[in-house]
Amino acid sequence: MDFYVARQAIFDKEQKVFGYELLYRSGLTNCYDGTDGTEASLSVIRNAFLYLGQRLMEAKRVFINFTRPLLLHGVAETLPPQHTVVEVLEDIQPDDQIVAACQELKNLGYTIALDDYSLANEMQNRLLDLADIIKVDTIGAGKDESCAIARKFAGTSKLLIAEGVESMEDFHLAEAAGFSLFQGYFFSKPVIVPGKDIPSFKLHDMKLLQEVSKGDLDFKALERIIKQDLSLCYTLLKYINSAYFALRDEITSVMQAIILLGETEVRRWAFLTLLTFIAADKPPEVIVHSLVRAYMCESLSTDVKLNGHEPELFLLGIFSMLDVLIGLPFEDILEDTNLAPEIKLALLGKESPYGDLYRTVTSYDRGDWEDFERLAERINLKPERMLEAYVNAIAQADRVAFTGTGAEA
């Protein structure tokens, strides 16, 4: 089954996730290249929600490209209207049938978005009254037209999404132009501040992150590190005394809390807590992507003959966006850490036993299908196995991010 699906976040001005667009590929046919958009979108509807689960629909809006046949055959009506955004592709001729179909979807409560809107594409104008969202490819449109489109819809109720926002500079330019939503990987690009040092509190958090990622936990070492940080002590004791564990007596000792939690639960607490601390000034989606990559690297260890290296692979994924979280190049960050050489080399893009798997996972997470297919073939990783790992990683990462515990619902 050569079916891949990933999701790309759409952010608001506070860089909180407004919704997700599903990125899709089947074999060598990309649903965005126009070769077989109908079959591609049908596969998304049939399979993506099956694989990604109901949690995605419950948590956020989901944007899906709809072709003419899909619109005319009422395929969107199989999805919940309160969570589904119907993207009408820019090359669809809005004749009476299409307008009627979109009007019916609107009446049923679906959100309508015009994909890749441009001033020159006059045939899209017939759907403007029905559209709730206007999406603009800011790279293809360029700065002048993007600003002109933003001015055209200023003061209206329509939401404007700037696509192709790949840096914080792009984000600020689109925001200044009048866009209210932003799609792209700008959140995952580090903003480097020359001469900046790693804050001491983040160095401390990284030490604990390394400690809980070891194969065998040293509870005394954990206790020593946690006790050096009042916030960690408070967070740990609050967690162990929460309603989730429903303990009869209050726990007041760090060591007692660690022992009661046990290795699995203390790791879960530490990963979430430390990522949250380190990423306090970053979009929450950075944490989600770090966790997704960590779970994927860990779960694929057997497939690439790296059995027994799961802790290191998990840590590799967790640290994969550390340059974003800290705002320094990996070269500078890794000088101050005691990470295993194999992890450091992989993060730096150098030859490493973990390098091929790491690059394969990150390319899939970005939806860079061509790069992924090349790398997956190199390490003999089957597409269906990658999809399975991604879906499971999404479920685990979302559970951690949404519940704050990582516990099963």
- pLDDT confidence of 242, banded at 50, 70, 90? confident
> Measured between alpha carbons, how far is 151 from 134 in angstroms, rounded to an integer?
13
What does the block give as tokens for 193?
């501040």
Give the separation between CA 256 and CA 388, rounded to whole angstroms: 37
Q: Per residue in 173-186, pLDDT tens?
A: 999 999 999 999 99
Residue 210 is predicted with a pLDDT of 74
Q: Return residue ranges of the chain for CATH 3.20.20.450.
A: 3-188
HEC-encoded secondary structure of the chain: CCEEEEEEEEECCCCCEEEEEEEEEECCEECCCCCCHHHHHHHHHHHHHHHHCHHHHHHCEEEEEECHHHHHCCHHHHCCCCCEEEEECCCCCCCHHHHHHHHHHHHCCCEEEECCCCCCCHHHHHHCCCCCEEEEEHHHHHHHHHHHHHHHCCCCCCEEEEECCCCHHHHHHHHHHCCCEEECCHHHCCCCCCCCCCCHHHHHHHHHHHHHCCCCCCHHHHHHHHHCCHHHHHHHHHHHCCCCCCCCCCCCCHHHHHHHHHHHHHHHHHHHHHHHHHCCCCCHHHHHHHHHHHHHHHHCCCCCCCCCCHHHHHHHHHHHHHHHHHCCCHHHHHHCCCCCHHHHHHHCCCCCCCHHHHHHHHHHHHCCHHHHHHHHHHCCCCHHHHHHHHHHHHHHHHHHHHHCCCCCC
- How many Å apart are CA 241 and CA 154, to the nearest integer? 50
More confident residue, 29 or 326: 326
Tell me the CATH architecture of domain 3-188.
Alpha-Beta Barrel (3.20)
Mean of pLDDT over the chain: 85
Residue 405 has what pLDDT? 44
Identify the residue with better confidence: 281 or 74. 74
pLDDT of residue 237: 92
For CATH 1.10.3210.10, the residue range(s) in the chain are 200-403
When pLDDT is cut at 50, 70 and 90, the band that residue 48 belongs to is low
Q: Kindly report, residue by residue over 90-141, the tens digit of the pLDDT.
A: 999 999 999 999 999 999 999 999 999 999 998 999 999 999 999 999 999 9
pLDDT value at residue 409: 31
Contact 56, 49 (CB under 8 A): yes
Question: Right CATH number for 200-403 from 3.40.50.1820, 1.10.3720.10, 3.40.50.920, 1.10.3210.10?
Answer: 1.10.3210.10
Under the banding of pLDDT at 50, 70 and 90, the label for residue 35 is very low
Q: How wide is the angle at C-alpha 324 spanned by C-alphas 319 and 326, nearest 5°?
A: 85
pLDDT above 70 (res 297): yes
Task: Report pTM.
Answer: 0.83
Highest mean pLDDT among 16-25, 29-38, 98-107: 98-107
Q: Alpha-carbon distance 15 to 286, whole Å?
A: 10
Confidence label for 230 from pLDDT (cuts 50, 70 and 90): confident
In 385-395, which positions are buried (b, 16+ CB within 10 angstroms) versus exposed (e)? ebbebbbebbb
Q: Are strands 3-11 and 17-26 parallel, antiparallel or unpaired?
A: antiparallel
pLDDT tens per residue across span 69-98: 889 988 888 888 988 899 999 999 999 999
Q: What is the pLDDT of residue 322?
A: 86
Count Cα atoms within 13 angstroms, Cβ side, for 86.
32
**C-beta atoms surrounding 318 within 10 Å:** 25
Q: Which amino acid is at 134?
A: I
